[in-house]
Amino acid sequence: MREHVNDPYVKLARQHGYRSRAAFKLDEINTRDRLIRAGMLVVDLGATPGGWSQIAAKLGAKVVALDLLEMDAIAGVTFIQGDFTGVAALTELEQVLAGRLPDLVISDMAPNMSGVASADQARSMHLCELALEFACNHLKPGGDFLVKAFQGEGFQEYVKAMRDQFAQVVTRKPRASRDRSSEVYVLGKSRRQTVAAAPESV
């Protein structure tokens, strides 16, 4: 709790009106990689409390956001409350998209941590796999995909699977990501027009 209260990015988030310090992670990655443009369609997976959606909407994107938890309304953001691991939420998300293919899929999803490292890593990678499967099935050709992952078992295999789907795959560790955390952001740039079959989640 003391670390959170004294965190400079938590203080900056309050000053800028952002809902979470995570907003600065996306902001830094976007500044470097130029992912978000006005008028583009962005899908934000694991959106609550809304920091990433705020950044995307601020830059003029149309955002469709999804999370298991409630999220207060944000101008320019259509929010769906549901469990991304279930069929119902995915079906509703597809209905909202109404056949439109997003230009960018972003995922800051993470499981509720149990404290058992092996189990937490497996659950985190499962969410990453689901997000990649969604991106492969819905992104327009040439679209980009940004996902939070934790380095550990399954990570290298996941990066390899992303390389099958995107022309370029890089990792980013933004300054707002705590040094002691194993989290990194994996960015797939320019979804291939002819790709291998979308990986199935396990």
Round to whole Å and give the CA distance between 105 and 176: 21
77: alpha, beta or left, given left = phi > 0 and alpha = psi -120 to 50? Answer: beta
C-alpha distances (whole Å) from 117 to each of 46, 112, 127, 153 are 21, 12, 16, 10
Q: Which amino acids are annotated catalytic?
A: 148
Q: Is 39 in contact with 189 (CB distance < 8 Å)?
A: no
* The residue count for the chain: 202
Q: Is 97 in contact with 45 (CB distance < 8 Å)?
A: no
Peptide bond before residue 174 is cis, with ω within 30 degrees of 0: no
Residues of each annotated binding site for S-adenosyl-L-methionine: 50, 52, 67, 83, 108
What value does the CA radius of gyration of the chain take, rounded to a whole number of Å? 16
Round to whole Å and give the CA distance between 49 and 194: 35
172 phi/psi in degrees, rounded to 5:
-130, 140
Residues of each annotated binding site: 50, 52, 67, 83, 108
